[in-house]
Amino acid sequence: MTFEIIMIISICLLIMSILANIYRVVKGPTSPDRVQALDSIGINLIASIAVFSVLLHTHAFFDLILLIGILSFVGTVAFARFLESGVVIVRKR
């Protein structure tokens, strides 16, 4: 019983930190700030899915953890390349 209560409290903490990142996405003065905050939202979402799967005692969401990690990394790299040079995929001709 105490186990579930502490799990729910830590899910609430993770969602609070997602809300803090959303504040930074809305307010952030520059666009790399927003990209950084979205990457951090992806990371926090991974943690909340992990705690949620412990709470439900199912191991069906582990693919989702790996998938969100990969998608967050690819999106961050694409946005960083776009901000730096204006193109995502360089054409060599």
Partner 1 sequence: MTGIIEFIVLVFIVIGAFFTVVSAFGIIRLPDLYTRNHAASKSATLGVMSVLIGTFIYFYASGHSNTRLVLAIIFIFLTSPVGGHLINRAAYYTGVELWGKSSRDDLKGKVPVKK
> Is there a contact between 18 and 41 (Cβ–Cβ < 8 Å)?
yes
Q: Is 70 in the site for partner 1 (CB under 8 A)?
A: yes
The CA distance from 86 to 68, in Å, is 25
Q: Should residue 4 be labelled a site residue for partner 1 when binding is judged by CB under 8 A?
A: no
Contact assessment for residue 65 and residue 46, using Cβ atoms and an 8 Å cutoff: yes
Chain contacts with partner 1 (rule: CB under 8 A): 3, 6-7, 9-10, 13-14, 16-17, 20-21, 23-24, 30, 32-33, 35-37, 39-40, 43-44, 46-47, 50-51, 53-54, 57, 59, 62-63, 65-66, 69-70, 72-73, 76-77, 79-81, 83-84
